[in-house]
Amino acid sequence: MIANDRRTFKNIDSKLTSVSILKELTFLDLVVLEKIEKDTHLDGFGGHINSSFFDTASLMGTLQVKGLVEINSVIGRSTANRTQLGDEMLHKAAGKSQEPLDELDHAILKTVAAGPNTFDRIKDELNIRGDDLSFHLYKIVQQGYADYEIRNTKLSLILTENGFKLAGFVPKKERPAQAAAASAASARKQNPPSNEIEAAMLASDDMTAGIPQKSKVELTQIRRAQAKTAHYIRAYAPILLIILAISAIILVVKYLGLL
């Protein structure tokens, strides 16, 4: 009898945990899950989401806490795979994306067209749960009414021309600088950077818009140096540790030989 009660409580706890995880689901979670393949290497994954290595590592850690991914680490190498729950969330999102748009979808489009374009701002504006908003945003993007852009693990929504029309807004004509920025963002999405150094450089370009050219060059050079330093530290730290360990052993052996 006691054993049965324990099993019952265990099942209830498991269901409650799943519900809690589902409520914490964000649209960015779905975007990242979609990009994860079997044994995805985390070292270069930041390039796929236009984010630095450190921001990417933090995001992947959050996904692991939510139970959506599983990360396996060995010296100098980390890989990620979707969990069963992660696959289920993607499958559910794909199924909902085939449904016709409803009133909430139209409300989301109007909200984004009016200004709020981040997940938290849209959620607060419409006062809906995170998981509901995530699935609806996935549907809107899949049906071509919106697109998204990621910078350092921060995602923002952008309505397409069809999205503006459906929301009843006529998008203003872009200035040359805005058009160039939009074109660059589209190019980055189609051809993501191959590693975190390139991702850091692209993020640096985005963040220095509007800064005087001389200061912009200096800031870009500093960030380039920081990105390269971080890359080489991660790449060669295991080798350096091995060399230091061998050197320490040699010194100990010599010391003991002198006694």
pLDDT, residue 36, reads 93
pLDDT, residue 105, reads 95
Domains of the chain: 2-190 (1.10.10.10)
Neighbours of 21 (CB within 10 A): 17
- Those residues whose C-beta lies under 8 Å from the C-beta of residue 56, and which sit 6 or more positions away, are 42, 45, 46, 49, 153, 196
Cβ–Cβ under 8 Å, residues 40 and 81: yes
Question: What radius of gyration, in Å, describes the C-alpha atoms of the chain?
Answer: 23
Task: List per-residue pLDDT tens for the chain, 259 residues long.
Answer: 444 544 443 443 444 344 455 558 999 999 999 999 999 998 888 889 999 989 998 999 999 999 999 999 887 788 999 999 999 999 999 999 999 999 999 999 999 999 888 999 999 999 999 999 999 999 999 999 999 999 999 999 999 999 999 988 765 554 455 555 555 555 555 555 555 555 555 554 554 445 555 555 565 666 666 666 666 666 666 777 777 778 778 877 777 776 5
Neighbours of 224 (CB within 10 A): 14
The contacts found for 63-69 with CB under 8 angstroms, 24 or more apart, are 63/29, 63/32, 63/33, 66/21, 66/24, 66/25, 66/29, 67/17, 67/21, 68/21, 68/25, 68/29, 68/33, 69/33, 69/36
pLDDT, residue 8, reads 43
How far apart are alpha carbons 227 and 4 in whole angstroms? Answer: 55
pLDDT, residue 142, reads 96
pLDDT, residue 129, reads 92
pTM: 0.62
Please report which residue ranges of 143-212 form alpha helices under DSSP H.
Answer: 161-167, 176-190, 196-207
pLDDT, residue 254, reads 76
pLDDT, residue 6, reads 47
pLDDT, residue 16, reads 39
pLDDT, residue 27, reads 95
DSSP 97: T
